[in-house]
Chains A and B, each alone.
Chain A
């Protein structure tokens, strides 16, 4: 994932809207402030060389993924169990 930059000037409309720019941008097109690397999730300033997400957002994303897998796994298991019962009934008829 490509890193993103954002404007950290609290008075800039681009900051309010949490607009993100590509790495090639140096200054904010709206207010001219120098852009900084920001987290794609919460828009907080990241140190240079950091990943695209801050520690908290990265873990949040992982948690959601794990939770999704866990839930979808349960759903598949439930669906499979129902299917097996249905097939057994059909076969027995």
Chain B
């Protein structure tokens, strides 16, 4: 709780691995979802493996030309269940249907195999699992990028207080509070309000950052004779701080959606983040890196690395937005 107070006061948390940092919240939520996905995929796999013998029979049937299937109606199945109709059961317990010859005498026996439809597969769980598996590689890639960007962001999130940042902390506090609320409707309301606060804060900070960039791009700092560098530095401080809070904001919103199981909304937030970077930073990365005293202008530099974040998140969005998702199962040859 002490850590929360530090965060709410707007100071830099002492511990970089603070579990209540937006980045950590997102990564934890993603790891939990990934574990759930792996369990779901294991379940799907085991059910499919159970079905493999019948799939092999289908393969054999294509060689023979046909396969006989007993097509029992719903009523007949009910009668079998209730015991009105009985299938012949051999001494070894196998169910058979007996063939009657043309002369009326009983002939050979056809084995009937009871096949149970796969149980325990939740379609929603399956869809989520497929979605998560499709995103896995991209999520791993952006996790590394977010980690890198987060390091540069943490250094500037100090001592800044204004309405926009206040909204961010309000959203953060509401979300933390919602985690300890037992009443579901109250929890949902708090989460909704947290998301609203975060969204408002994010757009206001975005607009502020945009106006600061326009100021630099228009060269308005030149008007102050002999103080241009001071003006550039103060604007760059403002831009860096806005970006820091915007980054935290998007991470927190993505974490909230991920925790609530809303993966497509999480992808929308990540896509929104990539769109923001595309619109605000991508075209101005050269200018920003030249104005930032901490940037070296290379691809490893602050602004060029931030610019690059866009690519991988948009790739994730494409994966999720795909209409048809397919899992390819590979059968290993027996030794």
Contact = CB atoms under 8 A, between A and B. Distances in A.
Interface string B268-300: 000000000000000000110111110111100
A31 B291 CA distance: 29
A25 to B, nearest CB: 18
Contact of B290 (A44, A62, A66): A44
A66 to B, nearest CB: 4
B228 A46 contact: no
B226 A56 contact: no
A66 B225 CA distance: 7
A59 B180 CA distance: 53
A51 to B, nearest CB: 10
A27 interface: no
A63 interface: yes
Nearest to B296: A44
Nearest to B236: A56
A50 B69 CA distance: 77
Contacts of B286: 47, 50
B287 A59 contact: no
A45 B226 contact: no
B232 A56 contact: yes
A88 B292 CA distance: 54
Interface size class of B (residues with CB under 8 A): 20 to 34
A39 B297 CA distance: 10
Given A44-B289, A55-B287, A56-B291, A63 B229 contact: yes
A45 B292 CA distance: 12
Interface in B209-229: 216, 221-222, 225-229
Given A8-B298, A44-B297, A45-B298, A59 B290 contact: no
B8 to A, nearest CB: 35
Contacts of A8: 296, 298
Contacts of B216: 55
Contacts of B228: 59-60, 62-63
A67 interface: yes
Nearest to B300: A10
A56 B232 CA distance: 7
B232 A59 contact: yes
Contact of B293 (A43, A47, A56, A63): A56
A70 interface: yes
Nearest to A51: B290
A20 interface: no
Nearest to B293: A56
B180 to A, nearest CB: 47
Give the one of A45, A63, A70 with max B CB within 10 A.
Answer: A45
B187 to A, nearest CB: 49
A35 interface: no
A55 B298 contact: no
Give the one of B222, B228, B297 with max A CB within 10 A.
Answer: B297
A60 B290 contact: no
Nearest to A54: B290
Interface in B224-253: 225-229, 232
A70 B225 CA distance: 10
Nearest to A65: B226
A86 B295 CA distance: 54
Given A39-B297, A44-B290, A59-B228, 6 more contacts: A8-B296, A39-B290, A45-B297, A45-B298, A60-B229, A66-B226
6 contacts: A8-B296, A44-B295, A46-B290, A56-B232, A62-B222, A63-B228
Sorted nearest first, the 8 A-B pairs with minimum C-beta distance are A45-B297, A44-B297, A59-B228, A54-B290, A55-B290, A66-B226, A47-B286, A60-B229
